[in-house]
Each structure stands twice: as structure tokens, then as C-alpha cells.
Structure 1
Amino acid sequence: MSRPPTFVPPACARGHHLRTARGDFAVLDAVPSGPVHGTAMLLPGFTGSKEDFIALLEPLAAAGFRAVAVDGRGQYESDGPADQQAYAQAELAQDVLAQAAVVGDGPVHLVGHSLGGQIARAAVLLDARPFRSLTLMSSGPARISPAQQDKVKLLSDALTVMDMDQVWEAMRALDPPEDADVNGEDLRRRWLRHNPAQLLATGHQLTVEPDRVDELAAVRPLPVHVLSGERDDTWPVPLLDAMAVRLGARRTVIEGAEHSPNTDRPAATAEALVGFWRQN
């Protein structure tokens, strides 16, 4: 589970609901105080939310980029139905296209973390025109590692027999001691507002996702950026290196970061994103 440093957005950002043709989505919307050089949409990962990008919002806005972090349907403050079919990857990709259509004037820079990267890829493969660039952050070419598949299966099995509060308590009991009190109540509140159907559907997607790298590589001339930490237990870093080569993508490795460079090393991650966007 991603652990944002805080759930309080910076002064440059406001929370609101983005109205689209496919429903309303909760966002954190950070706007530069001066000229705007572009707009970015940030999609969170599995069990995550828009708050996972809080530490990026201020440096991105300070560099002149509007940054809109989005809760997808069924994530935290965005409503979603109890039907797992509503969270099919194609449905979530259509949501992203609808969000991009209203979030700004002209194409947006799309960033997807982990699961969000695979949803972002699916959106681009449906229609690349709304996007100025694509950054896959700690998001690999196909399904997650075997160890992570086992964890997702455990979670999915628990969700079928326990309520969200019971699952939360079970997960917290497994946390290492150093994580026990990190934003505990905020994380619990976020977890309880996730729709279990969304978690079941997207967790399954992570365990069966096919390799679509060649399809993405054929989308020209969209610039692609593969960004990760120097360690990752969800997709091994050498796999991400190879994916970047196959895509002809820019490759950035954030020192000292693991699966969530956006929370592990936000300043370095924001610098890498801005450098990529300024060239595209």
C-alpha cells in the first residue's frame, strides 16, 4: 500500500470533483501561480489514491505545470458501483479519456503509477490524441511478479469473506513495526472508502495483464518515459529497463526509491518529470 507523507494538500492545490461525460471524479488540482507550461494527469496505483501524489504537486506547480491527481472510479473519494464488470480495464481507460477531455486545454501529460500505468497505457492504446506524453511510473510490461500475485490473491480471498474493516485490521497486523503508526487513521479512512469490487477487479487485472509493449511502441510520435526507483518488488528493475529499450523511451531511475518514487523521493521524481515534459 502506498503511504503518502500527508493527506493535506499544499496551498497551491484544491480538492474538487471533475465532471465528465462518464461521471464525477475526485481530484487534487494544483495550479501554478504564474504561466502554465502544460497540464499533467496523475493516476494512482492499486489500493492507492490521488493523495499518493501530494508531495509532487507543489514542485510541479512551481515549475509551471498544472498537476491534476485523480481518484479513479471506486477509489477513495470517487464513487463506483458494486459490480466488478464496471472496473474492467477498458472501462477504466474510457474514464481516463473522459477526464483528459475536460481537464485542460489541449493534450495533457499522462502519468500512471503501477496499476495506474497499465490503465494509462490502455487509454493511450484506445486513443492517443488527448495526450502529449506518457510516463509509466513503476509500472511494468505485463503481470506483476509471482510474489505480488500471491499477495493479491490473499487480499482477494480475504475480501470475499471479510468486510473492509476486518481486512484492514488483518493487514495492519502484518505491517512491520516501523510502519505501524504512519498516517494510520488517514490510511484506514482511505481504505474503508475503496469499493471492494474495484479492488477485486483491478487486483485480478494485475495478475493476468498481457505484454502490450509492442502495441504501445507502435503509437507514434507519443513520447514515453519509464520512471522507477532503484529497487522494485512488483516489477524487477531489469524488466523495466528492457521495457524502456523496447519502447524507445526515456529512462529514469530515482536513487533511494523503491516502488513509489512519488512518495519515497518526491523532489527527485518531480525534477525528472519536469525535465521530460519540458522536452516534449
Structure 2
Amino acid sequence: MSTPRFLTLPPGVRRTYIETSRGTFAALEALPGSGIAERSPALLVPGFTGSKEDFLAVMQTLARAGRRVVAVDMRGQYESERGAGPEDYALAALGEDIAALMEALGPDPVHLVGHSFGGLVTREAVLGGVLPQSYTLMSSGPAGVTGRAADKARALRDAIPKLGLETIWTVSIGPDAEARGVPPEILDFLKRRTLGNCPTGLMAMATELTSAPDRVDELAKAADEAAVPLLVIYGEDDDVWDPRAQAAMAERLDAAKVVIPIAAHSPAVEAPETTAGALSDFWSKAERVVR
């Protein structure tokens, strides 16, 4: 679970909702100081148990370069609309949601960023044919998680119908956050976010997170044919997907690669200035690519 360091909205960042052909999604939106976006917009998609607030520390910096930057809650996450059933949280369905968001932010193609599970979801959107200006996989992998990360996801999935989210927060997530020294105001937010998530969505997403197939070769082909620049970015100490697996994925994709020092699974939280600088540089170069 990503833990934002602060929740106060920086100047130029506001809470809003994005209307799409597939429903309404809660969002954070950052605009340049002038209020006029001169470059392609960016769409930031969080991971499993995450939310738009996971990008709060980088949004103002990213917008400063002249972009509209939007971070969203996926379907069933925190403040976004819930799905009707488990089928609405399959990777393909969530990918269609992201495609609809990309179209809603148009007419210019967006710089698309998927963090962790959000990387698996956004990959579905790209493979579905809605092509971004550029595509970044942040702390994500070639297929579903394995090892300890998979065990944790399955444990949460299996506990939800037995205990409910409120009990899970009280006996596990909350005490763990307190033990890590999370400040009271952030702790209160984490509780609201946990209880705001759709239980059905969390269970279905956990299954997808642990069973997603390797589609790297398909993505490499699609990106090459459409001349979509790719970036793989991750913390040097990532403990969800092995950094070596992410490096190998970057090679298979022929993608640019950035390793963020002194960061683990959430570089946008743990090293926001370094992460924002790497994204801004990549986006600027991507806008010079002629298709």
C-alpha cells in the first residue's frame, strides 16, 4: 500500500471528476501556473489498494512544464464509482476504463503512466488500440506478482468476505501503519481510503494481480508499430516486482529505463522530485517523436 507523505493540495492542484463514456472517475488535476496547458496532457493511474493521492507529491512539478496532469482512482477505488460485479474489475474491463479516460482527456494523446497494478491495467488499454503520446510502466512487471507480494494479495482477498474491510483495518492495516510511524492525519486518510474501496473490486483485482499473463512481447510489437516511446521506471529497492525482472522487461520492450535511488515500490512518494524530473524529461523527448 502506497502511503502519501502529505495530503494538502499544492497550488494549482484540485479535486475533480472526469466524465467518460464508461462512467465518472474521481481525480486530482494539476494545471500550469498560467492555467494554460501548452503540451500534451498526462494521465497517472495508481496500483492495487492505491489511489490518485499516491501521485500528489509529483503533480505540481509535472504541471509546471506546461501540462495538464490528471491522477485518477480506478473503478471501485476510494472515491470512484463502483462496478456492478467482479467482471467489471477484470484487466480487460479496467483497461477499457482507462481507454475511455484517455479519450476524455483528448483530443491530444496523453502521456500514460501506470503504477504497479496500474501498469498491468494500462497495458490493456494500449493493447486495445488507444495509443498514448508515450507510455510509462512505473514499478510494474511483465506479469502478475509472485512470492511474498502474491501471498499478501491473496491473503487480503481471502480475508475480505470473512472479516470485512473495517475489521481488516482494525486488526491489521491500521496497526501496521501506526507501527511505521505514519502521522495521524495520513493514518486517518488511509482508513478512509481502505474503507472507501469496493470489497468486490479488491477481491477481483487481487486475483488479476496474481494471475496476469506476460504480454510484454505484444506490447513491444504494438509500441514499435505505432512509434510510441516507452519508459520503465522503478525504485532500486522495489520489493513487489524484482528490479532485475523490470530491467529485463525494459530490454524486451526496447524501452528507456530509469532506476530511482533510495526508492522502493512507490518512487512518486519516496523520491518525488527525482521521479517527476525523469518523467518530464521523457515526456519532452517523446513529444519530438515523429509518427
Which TM-score tier does this pair reach, normalised by the shorter chain? over 0.9
Could you say which residue in structure 2 is the equivalent of 1:153? 154
Higher mean displacement: 259-268 or 30-39: 30-39
Given the alignment, which residue of 75, 100, 117 partners 1:98? 100
- Secondary structure of 1:2 counterpart: coil
Given the alignment, which residue of 216, 219, 228 partners 1:222? 228
Cα RMSD for the two superposed structures: 1.3
Residue type at the aligned position of 1:28: L
- Secondary structure of 1:136 counterpart: strand
Could you say which residue in structure 2 is the equivalent of 1:246? 252
| In 1, Cα distance between equivalents of 2:130 and 2:22 | 18
TM-score, length-normalised on structure 2? 0.93
Deviation track 1:102-149 (CA, whole Å, cap 9, x = no partner) reads 1133100000000001101111000143x1010000000011131111
| In 2, Cα distance between equivalents of 1:9 and 1:175 | 22
Could you say which residue in structure 1 is the equivalent of 2:197? 194
| In 1, Cα distance between equivalents of 2:158 and 2:138 | 28
Contact preservation (8 Å) 2:178, 2:187: no
Could you say which residue in structure 1 is the equivalent of 2:11? 11
Contact preservation (8 Å) 1:143, 1:206: yes
| In 1, Cα distance between equivalents of 2:142 and 2:277 | 24
| In 2, Cα distance between equivalents of 1:108 and 1:181 | 35
Contact preservation (8 Å) 1:159, 1:196: yes
| In 2, Cα distance between equivalents of 1:58 and 1:30 | 6
Residue type at the aligned position of 2:76: G
| In 2, Cα distance between equivalents of 1:33 and 1:114 | 30
* Post-superposition offset of 1:157: 1.4
* Post-superposition offset of 1:23: 0.5
Could you say which residue in structure 2 is the equivalent of 1:20? 20
Q: Superposed, which structure 2 residues align to 1:1-280 within 5 Å? A: 1-34=1-34, 35-81=37-83, 83-129=85-131, 131-170=132-171, 171-175=173-177, 177-181=179-183, 183-219=186-222, 220=224, 221-280=227-286
Residue type at the aligned position of 2:237: R
What residue ranges of structure 2 are gaps of 5+ in the alignment? 287-291
- Secondary structure of 1:179 counterpart: coil
- Secondary structure of 2:228 counterpart: coil
Contact preservation (8 Å) 1:128, 1:222: no
% identical aligned pairs:
43
Higher mean displacement: 39-48 or 60-69: 60-69
Higher mean displacement: 107-116 or 13-22: 13-22
| In 2, Cα distance between equivalents of 1:228 and 1:45 | 14
Contact preservation (8 Å) 2:99, 2:130: no
- Secondary structure of 1:173 counterpart: helix
Residue type at the aligned position of 1:106: D
Contact preservation (8 Å) 2:18, 2:26: yes
TM-score, length-normalised on structure 1? 0.96
Contact preservation (8 Å) 1:82, 1:195: no
Contact preservation (8 Å) 1:82, 1:196: no
List, as ranges, runs of 4+ consecutive aligned residues in structure 1 with deviation greater than 3 Å: 179-182
- Secondary structure of 2:96 counterpart: helix
How many aligned positions are there?
279
Could you say which residue in structure 1 is the equivalent of 2:289? none
Residue type at the aligned position of 1:84: P
